[in-house]
Structure 1
Amino acid sequence: MFLLDSSTIVIYGRMSDALKGEILLMSTTQLAARLFQLQELDLDLDRVKAELQSLQQSLQNNYTLRKLQSEQQSVAQQLQASLQTQREAEWHLEDLTKRIEAQEQRLNSGSLSNTRDLQALQQEVQQLRAQHARQEESLREIVDVTESLKETSERYARELEQAQESWSRDNSTELTRQQQLETQRTNLDQQRSLITSVLETDLLERYTLMRRTKQGRAISRVEQSSCQWCLAVLAPSELQEALRSPELQVCTNCGRILYYEL
């Protein structure tokens, strides 16, 4: 079977109009051969496109990575909120400490001679110390929550980094394969263009329709007097018709165009 390659494409591009015209005057057998070549290319293209589509879906969808990213982001937001709460608790505790220190200095200064004022100040200091104790306890609880969130955030960060590294390795393999498939598709498209350029529009439309309705196989090779798609045995008269008729012949059993390789 005649196979097209890049050198064939170049040669055809350099052909004269007269020679291209001769190609357009192909015999029925040659037309069937070209259609069979076109079908082989289209089947290869179908396989390449299907694998490309699968790869693209794989590249775009990684549930584990997206889940880890979402969880890590959620924990990071909780950690930031907890850190802010901790800072505010520390500021409140610091404020209480300063107020206690200031009031104790007044108590120790001896500036208050009035017993009622002295008792009121002592009571205020006691209340401030009680608030201080409660605030210290609250701060310890907040710090515990913050530390737990830090550990969780660090764990998610490690898991996410590992997942990203693993995904990068897998992704690199898939991207390499994707590039190879894109190159194959380009080459196949070029070869397909060469064949279709010498076929009539009506014939291409007939071929395309048959491919859609016959499982991608519009042309069937004839070997050992049989249609290789449905294995129906052709009568000698049918074989002669396939070789000599000015019209493309179809299998009377499966309806596919017959290609007899000389």
Structure 2
Amino acid sequence: MGTTPIYDWPYPEMGDPPAGPTQMQDLAVAVETDVSRLDSGYRYLETVVYATVGTPSFAKASYPLARAALVECQGSGGAGGGTATTPAGQTSAGSGGSGGDWAAAWVLMSALATSVTVTVPAGGAGVSGGTGGNGASASFGAVCVAPGGVGGVSLGAASSMGAANGAVPSATTPTGDWYVKGGGGGPALRGGATTALSGPGGSARMGGGGRGLGVTTGNNNVAPGSAYGGGGGGAVAGPSTSALAGSAGAQGIVLVHLYA
């Protein structure tokens, strides 16, 4: 019997004694052995992307070839802290919001319900003159849950120097086989009667935080977190300005990578 050069499958050669059924059986067994190895691993099929804020459903029947899924969830970022109304000779600044957590989970399709609720959260919203809004959790049913970031605080108006800590990451542990906590926000600094610096937003695994800002006159709050999950930067204000909200955190996202 000869064998093929790559897979070593047997075949009859000239001069071999006739043994058709046995030779066919040997070939079939060799082919089946190699084909069975395909069942011991997984082959990537496609990625289903949920990037629009809302609560869509994942319908298992829509993906009949899939045997398993790697799910990624990115929580949304917290907003930066706002600034107070500043009289003449006073400044104010907000600290940065923290980034949202990231989580991932491997799940067999046979373990999923017919329909799974997916949650794609909006980022935390800024609050004029106050603490920024928190981000929210991104989730794929109960299989994968990634909490959102925390809002930064407002450092009130004054003519004296002062500082406020940036937001810490969420205290909630993500749900999944792997996770990465979001980064903390940066601190705010009031430099006295004429100068202030806002805190940058914390980064997330899938998005950067908004930048920190500085002023000696006027005010500014254009430093949102970047998609997906970045924390918003704080607002900053020089003397004689109206109250501002901190920059918004970035929204979350859910990715479902399917495997056959």
Under a length normalisation based on structure 2, what TM-score does the superposition of the two structures give? 0.24
Larger RCO of the pair (alpha carbons < 8 Å, separation 6+): 1
User: Which is helix-richer, 1 or 2?
Assistant: 1
Larger Rg: 1
Task: Give the number of the structure whose residues are more often strand, by fraction.
Answer: 2
Give the TM-score of the pair, scaled to structure 1: 0.24
